[in-house]
Amino acid sequence: MSSMKAQRLLMLCAGLLLAGAALPARSQERHRLYTATNPSDTGGIRGIITSPHKPIVEVLAMPPDEPRFVYEGKVIGDHQGFLFESLPMGIYDLLIIYPDEFYEGVELHPQPSTLTKEDLQKIEDIVSASQPFFTRKVIHRVAGTTGRGNVSRCLCTFLRDKESSGTTSHREGLEYMVNQAGLGWRRTFKLVWLKDVGPGWQVVQTRDLYPVWTDPAHALPKHHFRDKLSRIRVTDSIKDIGHLDLATTPLKPVAGSPSKPALPADNAPPADSVPPLE
């Protein structure tokens, strides 16, 4: 090989290494997490968030009858709006993520939840014991049907509230190699499916929604449920759902919220603030 060819090859390899180093975290760890769209599908969803007035970092859509399919949208309009394109016809729930909070309209169960306090405690116990890499779990909402053989589903935050070490994230089923030291705490929003197997509830499946490395100051974003983000029907065109005020607290109870004793009115948390199971 001539010295000129060797020099060009060396420069090409160096360029590829620099390009790889510059890839955002999303392309490394979430490029295969979301469901691929088909250009032949012409449906979609468009909207603008008027409140809160701050940049959106991620927006996701999922059909309630098959929530394992999760579609990633585009953030548009000075990071205040969103757009989904090439969605199959169907009904979708949305999840809007900000750095310090997230809003969702995920349908957890097709029927009103009949879970008892005993069910909720057993679900909390089994979720807390799952995936020990994550040292803290918060169940934001849970819904299901009580009784042996029945199922439930919950929306959770899984957090590792300390820095990790090592060079691989295979413990989370991710397909990339990364030096974890110095990246901060590890967090993901998850859907968790459970089944009552008799003695208790068992985790049968989980679905990552938004795994990230995060600064400890924003490790546990505030959760809000909004029914205006639920059951959006998509046909063969882009559905414009207009301007959405998500910051206004809804008056009716949050569906699928863990049961909690009532607090005195002067100490009551906001209606959209669902404390974790304790």
Q: Where are the domains of the chain?
A: 28-105+226-247, 109-221
Residue 75 neighbours by CB under 8 Å, 6+ apart: 55, 56, 57, 58, 59, 81, 82
Cis amide leading into 216 (omega within 30) = no
Q: Of 27-41, 166-180, 219-233, 257-271, which gets the smallest average pLDDT?
A: 257-271
Verdict on whether the full-model pTM lies above 0.95: no
- How far is Cα 52 from Cα 113, in angstroms, rounded to an integer? 30
- How far is Cα 254 from Cα 206, in angstroms, rounded to an integer? 22
- How far is Cα 79 from Cα 92, in angstroms, rounded to an integer? 21
Q: What is the pLDDT of residue 138?
A: 96
Asked whether residue 41 carries a pLDDT value surpassing 80, the answer given is yes
More confident residue, 201 or 270: 201
**Quick one: tokens of 200?**
């208790």
Asked whether residue 87 carries a pLDDT value surpassing 60, the answer given is yes
Mean pLDDT of 34-60: 96
Asked whether residue 201 carries a pLDDT value surpassing 80, the answer given is yes
- Distance in Å from the first CA to the final CA of the chain: 68
- As assigned by CATH, the class of the 28-105+226-247 domain is mainly beta
